[in-house]
Amino acid sequence: METKTKSRVLQEFQEASKTLMNPALKKEKDKGTRVIGYFCSYGPAEIITAAGMIPFRIRAIGSTGTDLSDAYLSNINCSFCRSALNMGLAGDYDFLDGLIVLNNCDHVRRIYDNWRRKIKTPLVQMMSLPKKISDPSIQWYYDELKIVKKAIEDKFNVKITDDKLREAIKLHNETRRLQRKLYELRKKDNPPITGADTLAVMVAGSAMPLKQHNQMLKELIDDLSKSEGVGKARARLLIIGGILDDPEYIKIIENTGGLVVTDVLCFGTKNFRAEVDEKMKDPFAALAKYYIADRPSCPRMFGDQTRRAQLVKDLVKEFKVDGVIGERLVFCDLWAGELYMLSDDLKEADIPLLKLDREYLMVGAGQVRTRVQAFIESMGR
């Protein structure tokens, strides 16, 4: 199953998703634009944009192993963290001018300790992320935003004003609205874009100048609106889980005849389900409220599982989903617990669920294909 449109921008998105230093990012870097990396979708990308820099969501695409990082991380740390640190130690992230690490899980938390000591990135900043959704947590995140702001200002001799931050928020909200339009096209009975290509678009957007990404996304949406559908799918699927930034994984699923029409991923729906309130007087307060309370939460946020399960049920109805695939990286405790609880919620709602464990690097493709085929057939598809 493949996207029929021969859109130029879709090909550019696909290429950009396959590498760390895509052409658009390299062009800006050659011009002297600074690039700040950040782990986790809770990272304050708007503040980086307001500083006149490019926010870069850390991935480990292109990793071939973990020989270097295994000297510093345990073999029961998840393979994404080991792959990302390995690439840092190998010099693949030398183009970064700074790195913001959040304590979104213990595995990522260990990256900060080692990166700060072993990798010569000019700025390495820890940002503490609360674990509950509450007014004190929003204030906590607000204070952390101020700390990150000051660290960037002091290190690079820039000024992040409220007006610059408001402009950055508007730009990122425009991205969210365009991404939502892209997903709206997938509600069609015969969507014009596959799940694999949609993920490529979303991943590329996290690693390139945002104004350019938005312009390309507008063109892609226009192209897709005139394009024929990808073909009749055996089953419409929703995929949920931890970090998934490799379109090839979804392509394996879709090669069985299933079609991923939506997701609950940190490179997907979580990014645009809500927007930052542009009317709030204090833009830092608006960001804190958005990241902690408004956007769909991650399993590391305690006490919000009911809302997360309801989001899945809502998306199943909105996108006419036949079954849900839950994927988690091996050794990810957060998603192990989340998928365990979600299985009961979906069972009560009579929504089929397939749980898949995986490594960050693409291995076991045949096993994934076999299990997805059996899952689709078990639904009578």
Q: What mean pLDDT is predicted for residues 241-245?
A: 94
User: What pLDDT, on a 0 to 100 scale, did the predictor assign at position 4?
Assistant: 79
Q: Is the pLDDT confidence value at 364 over 80?
A: no
Q: What mean pLDDT is predicted for residues 202-217?
A: 96
Strand order in 235-241's β-sheet?
Answer: 258-264, 235-241, 323-329, 353-358
pLDDT digits (tens, 9 = 90+) for 309-323: 999 999 999 999 999
For the chain, domain boundaries: 32-162
Mean pLDDT of the chain: 95
- Encoded tokens for 59: 């991935």
Q: What mean pLDDT is predicted for residues 78-96?
A: 96
CATH code for the domain defined by 32-162: 3.40.50.11890
User: What pLDDT, on a 0 to 100 scale, did the predictor assign at position 196?
Assistant: 97
Amino acid at 338: E
User: What pLDDT, on a 0 to 100 scale, did the predictor assign at position 3?
Assistant: 85
Measured distance CA(292)–CA(313) in Å, rounded: 22
Q: What mean pLDDT is predicted for residues 177-182?
A: 98
Measured distance CA(138)–CA(142) in Å, rounded: 6
Task: Give the predicted TM-score (pTM) of the model.
Answer: 0.95
Task: Please check whether residue 198 is in contact with residue 258, taking contact to mean a CB–CB distance below 8 angstroms.
Answer: no
User: What pLDDT, on a 0 to 100 scale, did the predictor assign at position 326?
Assistant: 97
- Encoded tokens for 101: 């690490």
CA 178 vs. chain centroid, Å, equals: 16
- Encoded tokens for 292: 């902690």
Task: Please check whether residue 289 is in contact with residue 282, taking contact to mean a CB–CB distance below 8 angstroms.
Answer: no
| Residue where the block lists tokens 């998603």 | 335
Q: What is the C-alpha radius of gyration for the chain, rounded to an integer number of angstroms?
A: 20
Q: Is the pLDDT confidence value at 343 over 80?
A: yes
Measured distance CA(89)–CA(85) in Å, rounded: 6
